[in-house]
Amino acid sequence: MTPTFFNTKFGKIQVRIQKSLKTTKLKANIKLIPSQQTQNLLKKHKKLLKTSPNDIAIIVQTNSLTPNTLIQNFLQKHKTFFEKRAARLLNTYLQHKQNVNYMLVFGETMNIQKVCKFLNLQRKNSCKNTFTTIKKLYKKIAKDYITQQTQQIVQEYNKKYNISYQNIRITSATTRWGSCSRKKNLNFSYRLIMHPKPVTDYVIKHELAHTVHQNHSKDFWNLVQNLDPEYKKHEKLLHNPKKWIEYIK
């Protein structure tokens, strides 16, 4: 396994190349691999764990005969994907003492200060780049966007499909993107807005469809189809971030 480095907007990210005669395709993924320094901090002060680009590595799997120039060209070709994925890993695993300059919003990496300016958050403590602040920013963006989109969708389809809801709550859920109670209360994870807008909109429409059908019956999916004709495509993107780049382009 040969270590090398790949330049990104976050700095140098380690590349670990794994070559084998059994491997037939050139493929790569980016993972969180804590450095020795981070591991030592984790043992002593778990809550003070600092995650940096040094804790992220691109794992390349290829055939033993693949030339290094081909690997470098492959990495450059997919540089945008690696940067988006790196941003997501940093935002996902940071602890409350960690500093970071970027957020992943609607499938795009955005500078935190620009996000604050867009949201008109100019108070002294509103835009510190700590994990706690980032989480609050995500929740505010999610609350504003999801509430507005839900209202528009209901206004457009209510008369035709009898869609309605009671309340919207933004959560920190990590196991589900959204949910709908029997009382028509909607819950959405703030992490949902890390996806492109059409994917976020699909989840909103999916949960609104549950206000009519509290199941996943054929009638339910027919309603989802009427609300979002490309829902199958958006559902795949929801569970496969690797396809975001092609979609965004």
Q: What sign has the CA pseudo-torsion 24, 30, 32, 33?
A: positive
Which residues neighbour 173 within 8 Å (Cβ) at sequence distance 6 or greater? 187, 189, 191
- Give 130-177 as a 3 state SS string: EHHHHHHHHHHHHHHHHHHHHHHHHHHHHHHHCCCCCCEEEECCCCCC
Angle at 80 between CA 192 and CA 92, to 5 degrees: 35
Of residues 243, 247, 239, the one with CA closest to residue 192: 239
Token look-up 């290094």 returns: 68
Write the pLDDT tens digit of every residue in 123-178. Answer: 545 565 555 667 788 888 899 999 999 999 999 998 899 999 999 999 988 778 99
| pLDDT band, very low/low/confident/very high, at 68 (cuts 50, 70, 90) | confident
The fold of the 133-248 domain, in CATH, is Zincin-like (3.30.2010)
Convert the pLDDT of each residue in 201-217 to its tens digit.
999 999 999 999 999 99
Confidence of residue 49 (pLDDT cuts 50, 70, 90): very low
In this structure, how many other beta carbons lie within 10 angstroms of the beta carbon of residue 237?
21
Q: What is the pLDDT of residue 99?
A: 45
Look-up of token digits 């507005």: 148
At 65 the pLDDT is 82
| Percent of the chain predicted with pLDDT > 90 | 31
pLDDT of residue 112: 75
**For residue range 149-159, what is the model confidence (pLDDT) as tens digits?**
999 999 999 88
Please give the residue that has the higher pLDDT: either 120 or 37: 120
In the chain, domain spans: 2-98, 133-248
Q: How confident is the model at residue 188 (pLDDT cuts 50, 70, 90)?
A: very high
Q: Which residue has the higher pLDDT, 31 or 222?
A: 222
Confidence of residue 103 (pLDDT cuts 50, 70, 90): confident
Cβ neighbours for 151, distance < 8 A, ≥ 6 positions apart: none
At residue 146, the pLDDT reads 95
Please give the DSSP secondary-structure letter assigned to residue 193: G
Residue 2 vs residue 9, higher pLDDT: 9
Question: What band does 50 get if pLDDT is binned at 50, 70 and 90?
Answer: very low
